[in-house]
Structure 1
Amino acid sequence: MLRFMPVGDSMTIGSAGEHTWRYRMWQHLRDTYGGPFALVGPRETLYDKAAGAPTSYEYADPDFPRAHLAGWGEGWQHMAPLIAEAVRSCRADVLLVSLGLIDLGFYTNADQTAENVHRFVAEARSANPRIRMAVLPVIPNVRATTDAPFAAQVTRFNELLAKTVADLDEPRSPLLLASPPPSYDINLDTYDGTHPNASGEHRIAAAFADAMHQGWDLGEPYEG
């Protein structure tokens, strides 16, 4: 069985009432992947905005494997110390990682964030030397449209991320840089300029699915 672990921030954990892109990915793999698989991770909840905490199980459709390692307000620097134990305990084979926006917005600059990517990869490999990782760059968001220094940091980080993925890629533990979702429009694919709505969820899932199909010949192109 191939075990996929979604790793991310608020766009990955989602909030009460949402499907999440994790659900869209599960649907895609269920319909197109030729072998047994599971979504794994040490967490299952959504973020409850009213409570201000990740305590909700109110998925739009709760009937799917909801496990993940994602957190509202968490980034590369938060996940790097957690990933080894999560990979080890959940026996993850493939990490689907969408991080960076929260780091650049609140915690670290582009170069510091890239250093945390290095740490994350090393920690994941310490738990599973054959772990595979598909990584999504920071995708369009509303802050980048009005905050020029922040937008420059996003551009810089995405360039560093591409170099880091290329430098750290190795045959026994491949790294794959997913392309940003094509035609991703913050006015159409998010509900607040950052967090994905239903169409945004499909686009993020498609970015991972298409990258794995093209890069690893895993699964099929995304339809949905």
Structure 2
Amino acid sequence: MLRFMPVGDSMTIGSAGEHTWRYRLWQHLCATYGGPFKIVGPREALYDKVADTPTSYAYADPDFPRAHLAGWGEGWLHMAPLIAETVRTQRADVLLVSLGLIDLGFYTDAEQTAENVRSFVAEARLGNPRVRIVLLPVIPNIRAESDDAFAAQVNRFNELLAKAAADLDEPRSPLLLTSPPPSYDIHYDTYDGTHPNASGEHRIAAAYADAMYQAWDLGEPYAQDR
């Protein structure tokens, strides 16, 4: 059984009332993956914006495996120290990682963030030497439209992320960098310029699904009419 673990920030944990891209990808895998699989992770909650805590279970459709390792305001900096033990205890085979925007926005520059990527990969492999890791590039948000320095940091980090994926890739523990989510437009695919709405959730799920199909022949291409 293949065990997938979503790892991410606010775009992955989602907030009360949302489906999340995790749900969309689970639906896709149920329809297209030929073997048994499981979504794993130590957390299940959504973020509650009113309480300002990750304590909500008010999914738009709660009837799916909600496990994840994601946190509102968490980035590579926060996940790298957790990932070895989490991969080990959850017996994760495939990490679906969406991190970086919060790092660049509040904690670290592009070079420092890229170093944390490399630390994360090393730690994940301590948890499972054969773990597969799928990396989503940072999607520039609304801040990047008005803050040229921030936009440059996002672009620089995505370059360094691609280099890290190429440098650290190995046959027994492959690193796969997805393409940017297809046709993603923050003015139509988010509700606030950063966080995905329903169409954004589908586009992020499609980025993961299509990358795994193209590289590993896993499942099928994502159905874009969803």
TM-score of Structure 1 vs Structure 2, range by shorter chain: over 0.9
**Any residues of structure 2 matched to 1:92-107 within 5 Å, and which?**
92-107=92-107
Q: 1:60: Cα distance to partner?
A: 0.3
1:63 equivalent in alignment to 2:63: yes
The separation in 1 between residues aligned to 2:101 and 2:182, in whole angstroms, is 18
Post-superposition Cα deviations, 1:94-142, rounded to whole Å, max 9, x if no partner, equal 0000000000000000000000000000000001000000000001310
Query: What is the alpha-carbon root mean square deviation over aligned residues?
Result: 0.5
What secondary structure, in the 3-state scheme, does the structure 2 residue paired with 1:38 have? strand
Provide the residue aligned with 1:39 in structure 2. 39
Assess if the C-alpha contact under 8 Å between 1:140 and 1:185 holds in 2: no
Provide the residue aligned with 1:90 in structure 2. 90
Structure 1 residue ranges, 4+ long, deviating more than 4 angstroms after superposition:
none
Provide the residue aligned with 1:206 in structure 2. 206
User: Unaligned 5+ residue runs, structure 2?
Assistant: none
User: Unaligned 5+ residue runs, structure 1?
Assistant: none
Q: 1:187: Cα distance to partner?
A: 0.7
Assess if the C-alpha contact under 8 Å between 2:140 and 2:154 holds in 1: no
**Any residues of structure 2 matched to 1:131-150 within 5 Å, and which?**
131-150=131-150
Q: 1:196: Cα distance to partner?
A: 0.1
Tell me the amino acid that sits aligned with residue 216 of structure 1: W
Provide the residue aligned with 1:130 in structure 2. 130
The separation in 1 between residues aligned to 2:188 and 2:197, in whole angstroms, is 8
What secondary structure, in the 3-state scheme, does the structure 2 residue paired with 1:116 have? helix
Tell me the amino acid that sits aligned with residue 114 of structure 1: A
What secondary structure, in the 3-state scheme, does the structure 1 residue paired with 2:54 have? strand
Q: 1:27: Cα distance to partner?
A: 0.1
Q: 1:183: Cα distance to partner?
A: 1.4
- What TM-score, normalized to structure 1? 0.99
